[in-house]
Structure 1
Amino acid sequence: MGRGELSFERGGALSPAPLPRGFFDRPSHEVAPDLLGRVLVHGPVAVRLTEVEAYGGPGEDPAAHTYRGRTPRNAVMFGPPGHLYVYFTYGMHFCANLVCLPEGSGSAVLLRAGEVVAGEAEARARRTAAKPVGNPAGNPVARPAARPVAFRDLARGPARLAVALGLVREHNGLDAILEGSPAGRPHQSAVMLEGRPAGRDLIRSGPRTGISTAKDTPWRFWIDGDETVSPYRAHVPRRRSAAATSVGEVPSS
């Protein structure tokens, strides 16, 4: 994807200049508010970020996946800054993060919500696609057509954002920094653009949502008044499988 190949359908004048890797070579709670208004592009879909959460490093932040150290699952978080850390949660959803700090640090920012500014038709198709289900006889049948998704809900929430952008397990570790000439950039790669940074007077912060540890740490950042920001939800204990991990909560592996 070259700089001139993306046509923003919404969001007004958004800068297509890529963010440098140094942007992410900082503590996650400093990077997080600066990500608001920036644009993540993956293939034909682009999302302007309106809500994010920061997570710290090993032994520092008990709500972070890296709190207990490096594992095969969280290894990307210990890699170079500016890469995508994509993980599976509750046996149903993928969530996307951007790695911060130098290699070996183990810190990232969770992408919680955004506004689809390009590729709306593709994002909508992904969010409303019927999935095959089984009937008592074991034969696949189609679910009834879902109601149209409101525009504000296309990427409102971390799982929805990942679906709208088409991010799945195979994109874990994808480099989101456009370095050198963009001419050879693969179509399905990801890139972070300058977008239109949110004004400091519009940025709000508060406790992170849905986590049971370090839940009062005010590292959730959002653009005040933006309709795509997801509602805050306090942690509610629930039964989960060993493979399921809530957003930001420490995995058992």
Structure 2
Amino acid sequence: MGVAICLFVYATGAAIFAPPLLRALTADGAAPRLGVAAWLAVLVSVLGSWSVAIVFALGAVAVRVWHHPRVLVILGAGRSQGVATVVTAVVLVGAVAVAAVQLARLFRAMRARAHEHAEALRLLGRPLGHYRSGAECFDPGVVVLAAAEPAAYCLAGRPDVIVITSGAVDALGDRELAAVLAHERAHLTGRHPQILTLLRGLATTFPRLAVCRDGAREVGRLCEMWADDGAIRHHGRAALLSGLLAMSGIATET
């Protein structure tokens, strides 16, 4: 039981104090990959420690009952302390089971919607080669959706898809278009859609836990910086910045 208490205290302390510390350490986005890894490590550590603490606590109760059968007699007699122990254990197991089932269902539903959306966009969109020539434009994973508003995003599917609107294609030059597409490819390469789907599911399942709620938001921000770094590495900062400004409707000097 002592191990369970230590794990519970550690996880509770980490859930309270880690989010503000991580926000401060990753605010400048200097190392977004490390920032994402740190948030994920804290989330796994906190949720894992709570789960293991519950398992240890239930194991301690089970061992006590096994080696001291008279505990069952005490429970049968309605002794308040014994009844409270069993009721607490049952409530904890039930809460964990319900949360796990809810999270699994939510994650499957969110992933299924993303896959359906990706498939629909592949059917509705047209290959980028219909709008622009060049090596970047013959990637079968890129489709153009007819829409005046400039936008670009990616979806995890089978296979993955990058969506860019015709308005964005019209607004971007060749170098800018390549940088924007590289940004979206970096998201897919880093499996950012899957990571964010899981974290948003956790935030929805445990909305009062700052480590889940803030983790989803902060990891999303860091993933954008991670993708920016990938695009800059291949196409340069100027091309990416110019492309983002063009898509936002802000004119840039040439």
Q: TM-score, normalised by structure 1?
A: 0.22
Larger Rg: 2
Instruction: Give 1 or 2: higher helix fraction.
Output: 2
Q: TM-score, normalised by structure 2?
A: 0.22
Instruction: Give 1 or 2: higher strand fraction.
Output: 1
